[in-house]
Amino acid sequence: MGMPLELNTMIVTKGREERIENNFFKLEKDEYRLYPMHIPLEVKNSIAGEVRGIAEIYKLEWSGQKTVIYFEMKSLESTN
C-alpha cells in the first residue's frame, strides 16, 4: 500500500498550534502532508474560516503517519 500524501497550500490550525517562542509555532497534523516552504502562506483556524495571518514554514517533519510543521507568523490580520 502506498503512502498517502496530501498537498496543502495554507496552514489550517484548528486551534492546535503550540507556541515555541515569540512568533514561532509548531503544529502536528495526522497523515503525511506536503507544504510549500519559505514562502508566505495563509493561516486559518478552519478551511472556510477567516485568514488569521500570514506565515512561512521553515521546517517540516514526517514520522509515524504524522506531519509536524514549524512556522513563523509574519503578519496578523486585524479583527476590527
Confidence of residue 1 (pLDDT cuts 50, 70, 90): low
pLDDT at 5: 86
* Domain span including residue 26: 6-76
Would 69 be classed as within a structural domain? yes
- Mean pLDDT within 58-67: 96
Q: Does the pTM exceed 0.85?
A: yes
Would 25 be classed as within a structural domain? yes
Query: Per the structure block, which three cell numbers stand in for 43?
Result: 493561516
* Residues forming a β-bridge with 21: 24
Q: Work out how many domains the chain is built from and give that number.
A: 1
55 class by beta-carbon count within 10 Å (0-12 exposed, 13-18 middle, 19+ buried): buried
pLDDT at 2: 65
User: H/E/C letters for each residue in 13-78?
Assistant: CCCCCEEEECCEEEEEEECEEECCCCCCEEEECCCCCCEEEEEEEEEEEEECCEEEEEEEEEEECC
Would 1 be classed as within a structural domain? no
What are the tens digits of pLDDT across the range 2-44?
667 889 999 999 999 999 999 999 999 999 999 999 999 999 9
CATH number, residue 18: 2.40.240.20
